[in-house]
Amino acid sequence: MPVTTIDPATALVVIDLQNGVLTMPGDPFPTADVLARNVELANAFRARGLHVVLVRVTFAADGADAVPGRTDQSGTGSPRAFPEGWDRLSDQLAGHPEDIVVTKRNWSAFYGTDLDLHLRRRGVTQIVLTGVATSIGVESTARAAHEHGYHVTLATDAMTDRDGGAHTNSIEKIFPRLGETGTTADILAALDKAGS
């Protein structure tokens, strides 16, 4: 379904566009292209006085705040070592004092964070979601946003995954049940229409 409207109180929520994530290969879109589209969207939102939320993921060096529970892909039990600065937001997006920064330690930007509080205090009714990875952080956040009662719009070319099939599944099978989908250009056009 195309993007029908942008509410007057809409926030752009950008998932995990940070140094360590941006070094990973993206499929179907290179992470550099995704970052460029996110910068374009963030600038458009800021220019219209709309909120931009930059979400980053990080973990304590000792692994104390890692998500518990066994999975088929669980590691050896040792804390994973991350390079210095891996969790720093991209310089191309960061540095705007009016932006909201949320730190998460799970897939979803809602669970265990103050994201919902930030949005509700500002009267936000709709979120536009972007970022990496489509099938993990973005999809988990989209599901939670839908459950919290927000209108959800997903910028399908401003997100990517490590697995193109997982990206496609989210875009084609999951997201249409959670909100509206469109390209960066569709969302920019809807922003222009909402501002006129």
What are 59-103's pLDDT values in tens digits?
Answer: 877 767 777 777 787 655 555 667 788 899 999 999 999 999 999
Q: Residue range 134-163: average pLDDT?
A: 98
Q: pLDDT at residue 8 above 90? A: yes
Q: Which residues contact 49 (CB under 8 A, 6 or more apart)?
A: none
Closest CA to 135 of 178, 155, 157, 165: 165
**One-character DSSP codes across 85-121:** TTTSBPTTT---TTSEEEEESSSSSSTTSSHHHHHHH
Other residues' Cβ atoms within 10 Å of the Cβ of residue 157? 18
Map residue 25 onto helix, strand or coil. coil
**Taking the model in full, what pTM does it have?**
0.94
Rounded to whole angstroms, the Cα distance separating 17 from 3 reads 23
What are 42-65's pLDDT values in tens digits?
Answer: 999 999 999 999 999 998 777 677
Higher pLDDT, 64 or 132: 132
Q: pLDDT at residue 130 above 80? A: yes
Q: pLDDT at residue 126 above 90? A: yes
Position 73 scores a pLDDT of 73
Position 79 scores a pLDDT of 55
pLDDT-based confidence at residue 195 (cuts at 50, 70, 90): confident
Summary mean pLDDT of the chain: 93
Question: Which helix (DSSP H) or strand (DSSP E) does residue 141 occupy?
Answer: helix 139-147
Percent of the residues in the chain that have a pLDDT greater than 70, as a whole number: 94
Q: Residue range 32-37: average pLDDT?
A: 98
CA contacts within 13 A on the Cβ side of 113: 25
Answer CATH for 10-62+84-195 from 3.30.465.10, 3.40.50.300, 3.20.20.140, 3.40.50.850: 3.40.50.850
The dihedral sign for the CA sequence 40, 46, 51, 52: positive
Question: Which helix (DSSP H) or strand (DSSP E) does residue 164 occupy?
Answer: helix 164-169
Domain ranges of the chain: 10-62+84-195
Q: pLDDT at residue 196 above 90? A: no
